[in-house]
Every structure is written in C-alpha cells, then in structure tokens.
C-alpha cells in the first residue's frame, strides 16, 4: 500500500544530482526532522486530533512554513481513516508523497538537464535575491557546469553597486574559463544587461547568466532596477530572460518566505535555487517556499566550491530527509 519510495526511484543515476552529497548535506535537517517525528511514536500511533496538532508543530519547527504545514495536515486527514493506527514508516511514506505533490516540477521554458537543444539560443538566466544569499557564487558554479557541458557561456556583471561585486564575478569567470561583459562599478546595470544580451546573440553563445545587486539604497530602488533590467533584455530578445532564478539562503529560515514574496511580486521569478543547505537544520524551507509560491526548485547549493551546485531532484531530496 505504501510504496512511494520504490515507485519513484529514478531509473538512471544522474551525476548532476549527486544523491550522496545531497544526503550528506541534509544530515542536519534529516536528524532534526526525524527525531522530532520519532518522538510522536512508539510502535503505531492513532491519527487523531492530538496527533495531527503535534505533527503540525513538527512541520512548523522544521521551517516548512504555515501554509504548507496546514496543507499537509489537511491532506493527511483526508487520506487516513479517522482514528486509524499507522506505523512510523507508513507516516514517512505518506508525508513523502504529500510533499512531493505540493512541489511543482521544472518544465519549459526552463532548460533542465543542461540540454539546451529545445531552447532558442542564447538561454538567458537573470539571477536575483537579497544580498549575501549566494547569487554570485551560484552563477560561478552554474557557469562551471554549463562550460563543462561544452556550452559557450557569458556572464553579465549587472551588480554594479559595489566594486567587489564585479571583482568577485571576474574571479569566477577566470576560474571556470568563460567570458564576461562588465562596465565596472556604478555603471548602469540595465546597460550592462543590454550589452551582455547583444554580445551573447552576436557571438552565438549558449547561455548568458546575469548577476544583479542584492542591496541598493532601498528595496523599491532594487525592485525598480530589476524591472528595468528585464525590460531592456526583452527589448533586445523578447523571449528572454527565459529563467529568472531567485536565490534563497536556507539558513535564513522563515525570512526566505518574505524574500520570495518581495521578488515574486516584482520580477516574475520562475525558478528557485536554495543555497547553503550544507550544515543547516532548516532544509524544510525548500518545501515551503516552493509550494507557497508555486515555484520549482531547480538547484540546491551544498557548499562553496564550483562542484557544489546540484540539480535539484525531488525524489533524492525527499529521500534524503526521510532515509534513516
Ligand atoms: N556553505 C555554503 N556557502 C555558500 C553557498 N553558496 C554561497 N555561499 C557563500 O555565501 C557567501 C555569499 O555568497 P555571494 O555569492 O557573495 O552572495 P551574493 O548573493 O552574490 O551577495 P551580494 O553580492 O552581496 O548580494 C559567500 O561566502 C559564499 O561562499 C552554499 O551553497 N553553501
Ligand atoms: Mg554578489
């Protein structure tokens, strides 16, 4: 009856997912979540009101978020006969299935699997998020992956707010061996974006990844700047940016929800990357933000090195949370 894990097991191993590293990185999240769940059990337990209240508490304290926790509880209530007894394994199976259903999958126009064949070149990725979440680092890692696949990659240095931002992107550019379009600090970020798209088209690049500022003088200024960058890109290439990747930092927990709200309301985000999942207990935020904002998680960041960005795989992620 309960076989979510065996039913959803991927048929082929995908190196870009790296199940082992995901499992390792999520160890803290898993331990916290499972030990809290474990405390609800001894043998089998009756699914009654008291149990569901306690379960909701476990989900909330695991940073899954209010909306998603309530939905999971409601769905469980619907599928389990009133006052039936379930084992811990059965509960894990049910939760896994519910979580899986609540998280949207990646679909076009997002290029998945780094196979850009279905997409008109250049594939433009606009990377947004508040300061310090890992935008520039994620861009470096992403450029590394695409370059390794033999793709021609250009970076756009549209975070012109700080000198260090351009420098940091240039370091990554050199490290992973791709091109960059930069006008230096304090230049107009939209002009950088425009020139980057122009160059990507002229040079027939496969991928253009544009870095943006995480902090300006104020929040409204930042949102206006991102809108302007978008408009300017679309003027040159109407279907771009195909990917607006919002970076959230798993360690910020509940704050990530507020950030997602800000950015989704002003920049038409269509994908998520959740960084710093290595060593935080707050992995539940991946589930909550994805569900609450109906955004597919495309990548997870599991460390600071070029190899530490992984393609998100729902099955491996959920398995990493429940596998004891
Ligand atoms: N442990 C860990 N650290 C990460 C990860 N991703 C980024 N970092 C670190 O987070 C810090 C901030 O990363 P940046 O890439 O500079 O963040 P940013 O969003 O570009 O920041 P601003 O340019 O200030 O807006 C750096 O020290 C990164 O090495 C990750 O997945 N795991
Ligand atoms: Mg940056």
Q: Is 140 in the pocket of ligand 1 (CB under 6 A)?
A: no
- The pLDDT assigned to 179 comes to 97
Residue 122 contacts residue 233 (beta carbons within 8 Å)? no
- The pLDDT assigned to 252 comes to 92
Partners of 180 in beta bridges? 155
In this structure, what token pair is assigned to residue 96? 């896994």
Task: Give the number of C-alpha atoms closer than 13 A to the C-alpha of residue 230, restricted to the C-beta side.
Answer: 17
| Percent of the chain with pLDDT strictly greater than 90 | 67
In this structure, what token pair is assigned to residue 268? 């038409």
Distance between the two ends of the chain, CA-based, in angstroms? 20
Spacing, Cα 247 to ligand 1 middle (Å)? 10
Q: Could you give the CA distance from residue 204 to residue 202 in angstroms, rounded to a whole number?
A: 5
Residue 152 contacts residue 204 (beta carbons within 8 Å)? yes
236-256 residue pLDDT tens: 999 999 999 999 999 998 999
- Look over the chain and give the mean of its residue pLDDT values, rounded to a whole number: 91
Q: Is 276 in the pocket of ligand 1 (CB under 6 A)?
A: yes
What average pLDDT score do residues 82-101 get?
91
Does residue 315 surpass a pLDDT of 70? yes
What average pLDDT score do residues 276-291 get?
92
Closest CA to 170 of 126, 131, 139, 124: 139
Q: Is 249 in the pocket of ligand 1 (CB under 6 A)?
A: no
Closest CA to 96 of 171, 32, 45, 33: 33
Identify the three-state secondary structure at position 225. Answer: helix
What average pLDDT score do residues 138-167 get?
94
- The pLDDT assigned to 116 comes to 65
Which residue in this structure is represented by tokens 């425009």? 194
Q: Quick one: pLDDT band at residue 104, thresholds 50, 70, 90?
A: very high
φ, ψ at 207 (rounded to 5°): -135, 135
- Distances in Å between the Cα of 255 and the Cα atoms of 38, 94, 142, 211, 284 are 27, 28, 25, 22, 13
Position in ligand 1 atom list of the atom nearest CA 214: 25
- The pLDDT assigned to 2 comes to 57
270: which residues sit within 8 A by CB, 6+ positions away? 109, 110, 243, 244, 295, 296
Does residue 145 surpass a pLDDT of 80? yes
172-198 residue pLDDT tens: 999 999 999 999 999 999 999 999 999
Q: Quick one: pLDDT band at residue 114, thresholds 50, 70, 90?
A: low
What is the CB neighbour count within 10 angstroms for residue 235? Answer: 12
Give the residue with greater pLDDT, 112 vs 9.
Answer: 9
Q: Quick one: pLDDT band at residue 134, thresholds 50, 70, 90?
A: very high
Spacing, Cα 168 to ligand 1 middle (Å)? 11
27-69 residue pLDDT tens: 888 888 888 888 888 788 899 999 999 999 999 999 999 999 9
- The pLDDT assigned to 27 comes to 87
DSSP strand pairing (207-212 vs 243-249) = unpaired
pTM above 0.85, yes or no: yes
| Helix (H) or strand (E) run with residue 265 in it | helix 255-267
Does residue 1 surpass a pLDDT of 50? no
Query: Which residue's C-alpha comes closest to atom 7 of ligand 1?
Result: 134
In this structure, what token pair is assigned to residue 137? 């680092």
φ, ψ at 218 (rounded to 5°): -155, 170
Identify the three-state secondary structure at position 298. Answer: strand
DSSP-assigned letters across all residues of 26-81? THHHHHHHHHHHHTT-SSEEE-SHHHHHHHHHHHHHTT--HHHHHHHHHHHHHHSP
Helix axes 27-38, 314-322, angle to 10 degrees: 50
- The pLDDT assigned to 8 comes to 82
Spacing, Cα 132 to ligand 1 middle (Å)? 5
- The pLDDT assigned to 112 comes to 65
Which mutation among 167, 225, 304 tests ligand 1's pocket best, with the greatest number of atoms within 8 A of CB?
304
φ, ψ at 133 (rounded to 5°): -75, -20
């Amino acid at each position: 009856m309960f076989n979510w894990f065996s039913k959803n097991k991927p048929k082929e191993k995908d190196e870009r997912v790296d199940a082992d590293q995901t499992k390792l990185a999520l160890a803290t999240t898993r331990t916290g979540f499972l030990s809290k769940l474990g405390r609800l059990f001894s043998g089998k337990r009756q699914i009654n009101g008291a149990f569901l209240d306690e379960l909701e508490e476990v989900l909330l304290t695991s940073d899954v978020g209010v909306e998603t926790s309530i939905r999971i509880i409601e769905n469980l209530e619907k599928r389990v006969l009133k006052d039936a007894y379930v084992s811990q394994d059965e509960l894990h199976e049910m939760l896994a299935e519910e979580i899986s259903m609540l998280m949207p999958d990646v679909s076009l126009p997002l290029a998945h699997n780094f196979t850009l064949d279905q997409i008109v070149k250049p594939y433009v990725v606009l990377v947004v998020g508040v300061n310090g979440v890992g935008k520039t680092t994620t861009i470096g890692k992403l450029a590394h992956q695409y370059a390794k696949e033999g793709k021609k990659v250009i970076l756009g240095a549209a975070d012109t707010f700080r000198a260090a931002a351009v420098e940091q992107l240039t370091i990554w550019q050199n490290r992973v061996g791709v091109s960059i379009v930069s006008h230096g600090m304090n230049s107009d970020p939209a002009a950088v974006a425009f020139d980057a798209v122009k160059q990507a088209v002229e040079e027939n690049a496969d991928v253009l990844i544009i870095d943006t500022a995480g902090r300006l003088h104020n929040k409204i200024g930042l949102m206006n700047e991102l809108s302007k960058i978008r408009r300017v890109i679309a003027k040159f290439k109407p279907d771009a940016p195909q990917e607006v990747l919002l970076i959230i930092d798993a360690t910020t927990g509940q704050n990530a929800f507020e950030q997602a709200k800000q950015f989704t309301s002003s920049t038409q985000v269509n994908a998520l990357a959740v960084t710093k999942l290595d060593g935080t207990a707050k992995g539940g935020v991946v589930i909550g933000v994805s569900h609450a904002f109906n955004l597919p998680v495309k990548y997870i960041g599991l460390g600071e090195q070029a190899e530490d960005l992984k393609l998100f795989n729902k099955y491996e992620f959920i398995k990493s949370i429940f596998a004891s």
